[in-house]
Amino acid sequence: MKELNPIINIEEKEFIQIFKLNDLSPSAKKNAIENYRDLFHKYGYEIRDSLRYFFSEMLKEHGLPDEDIRWSLSYSQGDGMAFYGNIEFEKLLSAHPELKESLPNCMKLLEIYNYQRLTRDKDTPVRTIEHLCYMSIFKSNHFYDHERSMGLSIDVYESDIECYLDELNEQIKGSFMPDDEVNLTDWEFKHVEGNKWTIENETHVWEVTIATIDGDEIAQYEDEGTNIPDSVKKVFNEKTNTKSFHRYYPGIYLSASMIEKEIMEFEKVLLKMFVNISSELESGGYKIYESMDSDEAMTERIMELDIRFDIAGDIIPTKC
């Protein structure tokens, strides 16, 4: 019988040296950090979550919406950050009280209106600027998100403002006497100087200013708790060639059109502020990104996770 030669199976085994980061050569260490950085950006969310938290907290400090925050911080065209959503005016004005200086007519209306309401009923709810208008920040282009991509949608509640003004006048106008009891000979119209007049009777003196309002010459008087009878107003209008009479409040005349115009012009103030805040947050975002993306930060994470590498600095997968 022919003798068979035995078949010998030789199993070849490959041995790979495993290194910790600090055991690698300088070039391999650099490669190791880059390899980990690639994985960190591909699968990790730490930078994204840190930026989201930073932007959200800063926007809250500014009294601005943080529900929809978008950004790109990649050192390329279109980089920046933007925020969108409904504006809550009480939060915004609380964070930036200087904005009230751009809304003097709105503030005056609310001050007087709420004072009169609270005088009658201290438990009555006060009106705020959110009862005068609604604003929301929207994306104004279809491309990038940055400081110039934010627009404002504005809805002025003009009919409500008219109602507030009418109610205010009814609350404070008082009553001097019925027109049918007015004796016009008891009233005097005196020209003081320029556009200043007085209307006087035996017990009261009203200071009247003639001003051009919306293109018409209007007689304005400051309320003293008692109203000038309509028949006296009519005679004064004829004497001074004015169109009508309006009550005004110390240093200011209020009308729905003036308040609407003021709110619409406020858009420019807000958009300028949004640009500044967006630029400020973009700069802060870059600092966070650069700090978390630095070689030092990557090295610290590699050491914490005890990641191992081959001699060239490639990551060696570990079994879970």
| 275-280 average pLDDT score | 96
Cβ-based burial of 251 (10 A; exposed 0-12, middle 13-18, buried ≥19): exposed
| Structure tokens that stand for 153 in this block | 């949608």
One-letter amino acid of 304: E
CB 158 within 8 A of CB 134: no
DSSP secondary structure code for residue 252 in this structure = B
9 pLDDT more than 90: no
Contacts of 309 (CB under 8 A, 6+ apart): 18, 19, 20, 21, 24, 28, 32, 35, 315, 316
One-letter amino acid of 183: N
24 pLDDT more than 60: yes
pLDDT tens across 177-215, in order? Answer: 555 567 888 889 999 999 999 988 887 888 888 888 767
pLDDT tens across 81-104, in order? Answer: 999 999 999 999 999 999 999 999
225 pLDDT more than 70: no
| 140-156 average pLDDT score | 91
Determine the pLDDT at residue 201.
84
Determine the pLDDT at residue 181.
64
- Terminal-residue alpha carbon distance, the chain: 55
Residue 260 or 175, more confident: 260
Determine the pLDDT at residue 8.
57
Q: How far apart are CA 61 and CA 50, in angstroms?
A: 17
The kind and range of the H/E element at 72 are strand 68-72
Contacts of 13 (CB under 8 A, 6+ apart): none
